């Protein structure tokens, strides 16, 4: 033994922020404004929470559910569970009752910490979640008078009151479980991904690298991505380690509140999905000059790929770098990332060339391995043209699902991501589509993502969603749903002419369908499954299959 | 098993630079100029070298010595040994013959890769290093006609020629040894620190964090610190992972060549010891306007603490941030670090306050634990006043010495660093001294480092070295050796008056001794052991002990 055998436990980095920056703030949005607490207070409260959880019978490895918005108490739950060796199970508050019931029972959550405003959603399940012995209710401004029939309900403040502000974090195996997050499955039951101390520790260090998200203790971070999505993309852990100011929007997710928070708290970095950044853009555009975003330097965008036009707008209008991240719940989640400058040779690129790079999913994070494969798992060339199934492996990549291994989702130590794409000679990953969203027409594949990005770049188009529709001759044909921006008008012919400038004739959508909005999944992505179901329910037919009116 | 059990092997990150930035350059200084090779070439040559080493009988765990300057072939040796599982033993070319003989025999080096200009140093040991079966000679410009009587000598290029440019890096335990580096002991034999894959992997990620050395693929790095000092402070590993341009000075270590390299290669970041930065400063001062250092943004300074006046000069004159790092061979080496802005609250500090912070050894790196202890190993308060022995622990801290455990250097899982210091309420480590260099006078401790920093800030003083001298009444008293800058004059009275502005009367040196130069250790630090020995040899007496001339 030459070097110390220090296990990679989150408890070795969790308390660091409070140590080096005890006076730095955690800011949580409330009905009337914000509430603030320091890192020192947050640390002490997290240690108190750990004592309270232990007193409530939570031991190492037990699942503690959270049913919460992004807020200081949710962060305390992250901190406490990781420190004491409990497993933080972040429940997605946007799931339907059936999925929630399944998940809570599958994880056997013993205790759930819940934001008071969300109580009704859980109360509906009271009779069917027998493992839950106690709920701890976090009451923000306006919810002090909560009441519930959920078992053992106690106010969060009463729960931790009087507990000692120091918990001696236990030693454990570095591969001990840390968190549990279920993916919103498109088929079958949701599947659980169990995060471990070691995997999340390595993810945290990597996320803080200059060539990654470059998180720093000098940053003010607004994590908009919910903390129930893949550990809030790891941002809460990085922030706890670094001690950077955190701003948490809680349930106030409308663009106006988010913009107000960015301005008033001096946010330098924010993380969210493309729909959030579309909404923020819309509000800035309709209120020119109203928001001073001079502190904001970068936004990280993930969950689904941001349209290149959006990346360009943030840079040209606000001077803000949109950092595209690619990953999924199964990849902890950061697997690849694209920045304006990823290497020295890019310093001499034009803005146009940088936008082209930023539109790609990016380069693989150090320590991971990623490649594209054909159907027989032969590796494909990195020529920017060959399209294949994307597989990834490494120390923060899932190896099986929780109590439901799903071996068909893995191959020879690799995770089969379900995304298809290509890799260019510069080793950039370019996502073509989710494999299930590709349109297969006449034996050729059409990328719905490419069409959407192209259409949404048109003036007057706010959103675009391309899905396959069955066709007896071609197998499938694409149709595009579009949401026209307020006060604008765009017709089908214009969209098709715009597409024809970039796509072959056989790749053009067979139909352009104006809609009021696109349904979103519980993780904020366009819900193409729902779009296809809606079309089927309406008896939608492709234009050339319709019975001609006589 | 929820996450993949990918071992933390350097081979998982080593080839990454060549993958993402294959055309980026490794530049090595030569007699007449520089030679250049790309990352792709370097990677392929490293893989060839691994094959050649294997063919020469080197297996996993075998020690391969390098006796080399910083250059591309030394980097290839790092790359090849780490990939194939051999142990890279970086021999310090500045050691004396006795120490070298001891180290080579203690490590049982099987093969040594040596720069041709260094052959004479090793030839002197030919008869006494029986484990060495072969030497591989790297010949830079001007040394093509080398010859030697060392066993099995072969030219580096002939050695790797014809070997395949891809080696399938083997899997192994992540705690397998990676490197071996001996500390220049002040007593007894040199002691070996064995680096492991896991420890160096974690060190590499941490070094690339924004809040650490912030290495980036966009940087141009001039590593002046020898690659035989604590793995060149980890810079070669980080560079291989990121793919940033590297500039290597080889044997041309004079300030003029270093400055030429910085200017002509557009160096953005350089790493070296204070004496290097003193030399560079001297040359810039005597040639105002001659060097365009506009690309240079930061220099990292370690090995010993830079005087605050030096930190200030680099910032005020060149706009260059001097990043102070603290560590030692036993800590891989980066353990603590000080930057101009370590957290958001420091954004509002004045330059004066930042200089004060930069003069401290800095904040502990994430994942390490560090504290100060009294003689009975009780923790001391972090009040900026209590001085104690500094102990450190964590995943890249040595737990024993190679084949020479030295348990007295460890306590309850901690490394006893041999430095003494304090920790302030901001969690900054402040080094008072090496414990063996403290001056004990009348039961009180006087920091030689504090006196030196104060004296060297005087106009006209180029270097200062404070050592203890024995005194029958006070036990020890400090004396200061000073090197006066060329063309300047400084007398003892001026030095004492200057010291009296900051130190108590009993802390002032008893004598100010003008000298031509201060001897340096093989790692470029002031050699206080040699200074004390010289004084003893000269029969030096403290002024109040001298027999008065009658």
At residue B95 the predicted structure's pLDDT band, cuts being 50, 70 and 90, is confident
Task: Using the predicted structure, report yes or no on whether residue B550 has a pLDDT greater than 50.
Answer: no
Q: What is the CA radius of gyration of chain A?
A: 24
Q: Is A510 on the interface with B (CB under 8 A)?
A: no
In chain A, residues 394-453 whose CB comes closer than 8 Å to chain B: 394-400, 402, 413, 415, 426-427
Start and end residues for every CATH 3.30.300.30 domain found in chain B = 438-549
Distance, in Å, from the CA atom of A200 to the CA atom of B518, rounded to the nearest integer, reads 49
- Please state the rounded mean pLDDT for residues B57-65: 98
Partners of residue B218 in chain A, C-beta under 8 Å: 211, 341, 343-344, 346-347
B321 touches chain A (CB under 8 A): no
Q: Please say if the pLDDT value at position B188 is more than 80.
A: no
Q: What is the pLDDT of residues A485-541, one digit of tens each?
A: 988 999 999 999 999 998 888 889 999 999 999 998 877 788 898 999 999 999 999
**Cβ-contact B171, A369 below 8 angstroms:** no
Choose the closest CB to B6 out of A1, A3, A395.
A395
Write down how long chain B is: 550
Q: Given B3, B244, B395, which is nearest A399 (Cβ)?
A: B3
CB-closest option in A220, A343, A413 to B4? A413
d(CA B18, CA B25): 10
Per-residue model confidence as pLDDT tens digits over B131-143: 999 999 999 999 9
Cα-to-chain-centroid distance, residue B65: 18
CA-nearest residue to B13 within chain A is A367
* Three-class HEC string of B344-383: HHHHHCCHHHHHHHHCCCEEECCCCEEEEECCCCCECCCC
**Distance of CA A248 to CAs A3, A119, A282, B330, Å?**
39, 20, 21, 41
Judge: B20–A244 Cβ closer than 8 Å, yes or no: no
Contacts of A205 in chain B (CB under 8 A): 202, 205-206, 209, 366-367
- For domain A11-210+226-244, the CATH class is alpha beta
Angstrom distance (rounded) from CA A165 to CA A46: 8
Task: Give the model confidence (pLDDT) of B244-275 as tens digits.
Answer: 999 999 999 999 999 999 999 999 999 999 88
- Tokens (6 digits) for A217: 């203790």
Closest Cβ opposite residue B343 in set A4, A241, A243: A243
Residue whose tokens read 């007295």:
B408
Establish if B175 touches chain A: CB-CB under 8 angstroms. Answer: yes
Answer yes or no: do B394 and A4 touch at CB < 8 A.
yes
Q: Are A20 and B363 in contact (CB < 8 Å)?
A: yes
A366-398 residue pLDDT tens: 999 999 999 899 999 999 999 999 999 999 999
Q: How far is B530 from chain A (nearest CA, A)?
A: 30
Q: Judge whether B5 is closer than 8 Å to chain A, CB to CB.
A: yes
Catalytic residues of B: 183, 330, 440, 445
- pLDDT confidence of residue B548: 62
Chain A residues with CB-CB distance to B23 below 8 A: 345
pLDDT of A550 > 70? The answer is no
Distance between CA atoms of residues A168 and A420, nearest Å:
46
B395 contacts on A by Cβ (under 8 Å): 3-6, 8
Percent above pLDDT 70 for chain A? 99
pLDDT digits (tens, 9 = 90+) for B291-341: 999 999 999 998 888 889 999 999 999 999 999 999 999 999 999 999 999
Q: Which residues pair with B198 in a beta bridge?
A: none
Q: Look up residue B301 and give its two tokens.
A: 């300074």
Is the pLDDT confidence value at A332 over 50? Answer: yes
Q: Is the dihedral of CA B196, B198, B201, B205 positive or negative?
A: negative
Class of the CATH domain delimited by B438-549: alpha beta
Taking the CA of residue A78 and the nearest CA in chain B, the distance in Å comes to: 18
The boundaries of every CATH 3.40.50.12780 domain in chain A are 11-210+226-244, 254-436
Measure B300 CA to nearest chain A CA, in Å.
Answer: 16
Q: Are A522 and A94 in contact (CB under 8 A)?
A: yes
CB B141 within 8 A of CB B31: yes
Judge: A20–B427 Cβ closer than 8 Å, yes or no: yes
Chain A positions in Cβ-Cβ contact with residue B174 (cut-off 8 Å):
none
Token couple for A148: 């519930």
How many whole angstroms separate alpha carbon B496 and alpha carbon B248?
A: 42
- Asked if A393's CB is within 8 angstroms of B4's CB, the reply is yes
A38 touches chain B (CB under 8 A): no
pLDDT surpasses 90 at B146 = yes
Report whether A28 contacts A12 (CB < 8 A).
no
Residue A524 has a pLDDT of 78
Chain B nearest-CA distance from A36, in A, is 16
Q: Which long-range contacts (CB under 8 A, 24 or more apart) does A251-259 make?
A: A251/A69, A251/A115, A251/A117, A252/A29, A253/A224, A254/A279, A255/A279, A255/A280, A255/A282, A255/A283, A256/A283, A257/A29, A258/A222, A258/A224, A259/A283, A259/A284, A259/A291, A259/A293
Which DSSP string do the residues of B425-450 spell out, in sequence order?
TT--EEEEEEGGG-EEETTEEE-HHH
Q: Do B399 and A4 count as a contact with CB atoms less than 8 A apart? A: yes
What pLDDT is attached to residue A434?
A: 81
| Average pLDDT across chain B, whole number | 94
Q: Is the pLDDT of residue B58 over 80?
A: yes
With cut-offs at 50, 70 and 90, classify the pLDDT of residue A95: confident
Residues of B in contact with A241 (CB under 8 A): 366
Other beta carbons within 10 angstroms of residue A165's beta carbon come to 14
A239: its two tokens: 């922030």
Report strand pairing: A87-90 vs A63-67. Answer: parallel
Tell me if ipTM is over 0.85.
yes
> How many other CB atoms are there within 10 angstroms of residue A476's CB atom?
18
A16 to chain B: which residues are within 8 Å by CB? 366
**Does residue B186 surpass a pLDDT of 80?**
no
The residues facing B349 across adjacent strands are none
Of A3, A13, A198, which is closest to B366 when you measure between CB atoms?
A13
Is A88 in the B-facing interface, judged by CB distances under 8 Å? no
| Type and span of the H or E element at A84 | helix A72-84
Cα–Cα distance, A232 to A92 (Å, whole number): 11
Q: DSSP assignment of A395-461, as one string?
A: TTSBSS-TT---GGGEETTEEEEEEEEEE-TT--EEEEEEGGG-EEETTEEE-HHHHHHHHHTSTTE
Catalytic residue numbers of A, as ranges: 183, 330, 440, 445
Residue B75 CA to residue B439 CA, distance in Å, equals 41
CATH number for the domain whose boundaries are A254-436:
3.40.50.12780
* Angstrom distances, CA of residue A192 to CA of A58, A103, A534, A548: 20, 8, 28, 49
Does B399 contact A209 at a Cβ distance shorter than 8 Å?
no
High-pLDDT (> 70) share of chain B, %: 99
* Helices B39-55 + B72-84 axis angle, to 10: 60
Of A331, A395, A497, the closest CA to residue A174 belongs to A395
Rg, Å, chain B Cα set: 24
B223, B273 Cβ separation under 8 angstroms: no
pLDDT digits (tens, 9 = 90+) for A32-80: 999 999 999 999 999 999 999 999 999 999 999 999 999 999 999 999 9
């Amino acid at each position: 033994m030459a070097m110390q055998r220090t296990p990679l436990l989150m408890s070795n980095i969790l308390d660091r922020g409070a140590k080096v920056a005890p006076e730095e703030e955690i800011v949580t949005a409330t009905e009337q404004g914000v509430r603030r607490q320091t890192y020192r207070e947050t640390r002490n409260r997290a240690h108190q929470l750990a004592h309270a959880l232990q007193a409530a019978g939570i031991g190492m490895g037990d699942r503690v559910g959270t049913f919460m918005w992004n807020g200081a108490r949710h962060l305390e739950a992250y901190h406490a569970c990781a420190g004491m060796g409990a497993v933080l199970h972040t429940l997605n508050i946007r799931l339907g009752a059936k999925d929630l019931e399944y998940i809570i029972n599958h994880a056997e959550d013993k205790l759930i910490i819940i934001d008071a405003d969300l109580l009704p959603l859980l109360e509906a399940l009271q009779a069917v979640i027998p493992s839950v012995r106690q709920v701890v209710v976090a009451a923000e401004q306006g919810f002090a008078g909560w009441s519930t029939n959920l078992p053992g309900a106690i106010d969060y403040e009463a729960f931790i009151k009087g507990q000692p502000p120091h918990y001696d974090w236990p030693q454990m195996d570095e591969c001990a479980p840390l968190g549990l997050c279920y993916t919103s499955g498109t088929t079958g039951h949701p599947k659980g991904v169990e995060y471990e101390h070691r995997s999340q520790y390595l993810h945290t260090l990597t996320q803080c690298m200059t060539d990654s998200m470059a998180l720093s203790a000098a940053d003010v971070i607004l994590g908009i991505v919910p903390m129930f999505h893949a550990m809030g993309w790891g941002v809460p852990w990085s922030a706890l380690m670094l001690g950077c100011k955190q701003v948490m929007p809680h349930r106030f997710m409308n663009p106006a509140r988010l913009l107000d928070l960015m301005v008033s708290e001096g946010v330098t970095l924010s993380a969210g999905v493309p729909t959030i950044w579309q909404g923020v853009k819309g509000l800035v555009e309709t209120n020119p000059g109203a928001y001073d975003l001079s502190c904001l330097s970068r936004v990280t965008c993930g969950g689904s790929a941001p349209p290149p036009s959006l990346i360009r707008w943030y840079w040209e209008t606000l001077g803000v770098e949109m950092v595209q991240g690619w990953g999924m719940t199964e990849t902890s989640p950061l697997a690849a990332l694209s920045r304006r400058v990823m290497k020295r040779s890019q310093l001499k690129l034009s803005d146009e060339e940088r936008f082209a790079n930023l539109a790609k999913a990016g380069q693989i994070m150090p320590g991971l391995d990623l490649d594209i494969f054909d159907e027989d798992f032969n590796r494909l060339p990195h020529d920017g043209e060959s399209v294949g199934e994307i597989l990834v492996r490494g120390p923060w990549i899932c190896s099986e699902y929780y109590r439901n291994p799903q071996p068909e989702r893995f191959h020879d130590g690799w995770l089969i991501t379900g995304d298809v794409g290509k890799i260019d000679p510069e080793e950039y990953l370019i996502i073509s589509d989710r494999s299930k969203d590709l349109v297969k027409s006449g034996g050729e594949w059409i990328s719905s993502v490419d069409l959407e990005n192209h259409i949404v770049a048109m003036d007057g188009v706010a959103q675009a969603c391309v899905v396959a529709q069955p066709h007896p001759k071609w197998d499938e044909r694409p149709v595009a749903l579009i949401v026209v921006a307020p006060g604008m008008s765009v017709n089908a012919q214009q969209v098709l002419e715009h597409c024809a400038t970039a796509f072959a004739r056989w790749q053009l959508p067979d139909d352009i369908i104006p809609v009021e909005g696109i349904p979103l999944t519980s993780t904020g992505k366009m819900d193409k499954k729902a779009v296809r179901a809606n079309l089927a329910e309406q008896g939608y037919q492709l234009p050339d299959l319709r019975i001609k009116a006589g």
